[in-house]
Structure 1
């Protein structure tokens, strides 16, 4: 396959990685970034150009020394394709991407049940469907899920699938010869934000996700802060409101009782069906998350109160993250991220409550709310394994 990355090492690998993440780049900029002389850079890049890993592209500024446009170097993103699959409790969501994590195609399949063998077969079927849309084959498959993953292969625990000690990587080896890597979904999404997303170029950023659970990722000095406990959802039980609901662990007003999509749905539904509710939409049917937010937008008092309380709590959570980690930006994602727009004023109120009056609000960037964004994160884990060799 053209454009192979291995066995690149040392300066050659650093050059290729800089171009992958920030290219196209001029030779002068590359030499500055990796600390090489122009002659050394030419010697290193020549075989990379000959192999097809790098290409010269047009459109660079005119080089005054030679009186002609410079030719920046770039990779060929379509030379390699990757599949990323996000597993939820009831479906597998997949994307096909290029080497730069650009999504080419997306598809999803329901999970017939939670049996590991059945899930592996579904992942294999979805991978085959997506791979059929690539004309260069697959260079890697990434799978992410909520839970603790060890060795990029074994799911130590996966709460949404009720899994414990499941060798998912080994199970997938019976279905495919493509290299497979398994990761915690929040780690994967943080790395995608770091390498190819809203966190690119930030010295420090944090990612907060709201949806079925509450997640937190942190990148400092261009490296993700990752430990075996990162996948435990520790931020989900951070206290936010002293008069909030009590969670199953006995915490009052923690993030999981206020910000998850299930918490907001159950509280809005209960408020609309409770005694004294004057809303004509009251029904014993549980509303969807988007319906709850739609009611708040329309000004339904009970929904507005629940949603604004959640937005206020989210603002306090953002303030806590900003106060402790001093990020250049805060990235908010997850399937519940629409809350940021619907409860924007309440979020700012909560944020400002816990910030110094002379502090500046951290820039807040929103990710797409679809599960495809998480699947793209899984693809990025596969891309990283491919280009870093580990």
Structure 2
């Protein structure tokens, strides 16, 4: 076996997602398993370089995990010819600029979403990457969740017959920050800093719908701010200028209709924080982060509406659990492995910056639909 060291600049690893999912559960997990075997006698050894604005936080993380390299100077890191890949999980508002710098420096780029604050900028990033000849990848982690992998297995096996509709529920109560600490950073609720649930979640819904059911052809959305005042990390009140809840209807090529609610102002009465119900002529399924339940046409009960009598049975008990049938690795780690194999072994990979631009487009159209109060078509985009 030949070991090849891959130096990866990781920007934004002091944040919750960048640290937990990308550094610890992906890159460090790859190191713990001995690297990534490419199957040709080569093992990739990821060497992370922690990048961010807070020197003390970077130094603390490096010491905690026994890492040698960290920097608060992005330009210096990008000028380093030994750096192979640039990853970004920092604030959305600065992403477009830093990705342009990374592409211009000849680095392969892997990034969280949204890739830019507007569609024009997102398409420009995809064009620049193609012209520079660098590989690009955009995190689309929910595709690799056990629940959605089981759902895809059902779709590919023809379980549903003709798919009719998709219903999605996502969200949880994010504390305002006054009497209990908020679970999300305050910039998420400031539009001027790139916050908002539409910008955050509609890119997710785009790739989930696109990959599982088909291209989204129209969007009709209502975005609103239910909680107008929140408290920041210093305990100071601030005006929430970004939307914290959104209600969307998406038409998909072939006639499937998807309805997805997204909210940071909802108390959870579901088995998981996100669930998708898919109904088809031959069967239905409800998929969450990990689990998936089904009800086939042949086993569908015959409910009768009678408000005068209490229900004597549990509707949930009438569904069957889809077995795991395999071991599921962390979804973020799985996509990192696929991207690294794409860069260094030429493996197929289509979750690139152009795919990321579709997510930006969905968010942009969702906000426009809400502002104008009308349904909008979703044009196909290309370079």
TM-score of the superposed pair, with normalisation by structure 2: 0.32
TM-score of the superposed pair, with normalisation by structure 1: 0.31
More strand by share: 2
More helix by share: 1
Q: Which has the larger radius of gyration?
A: 1
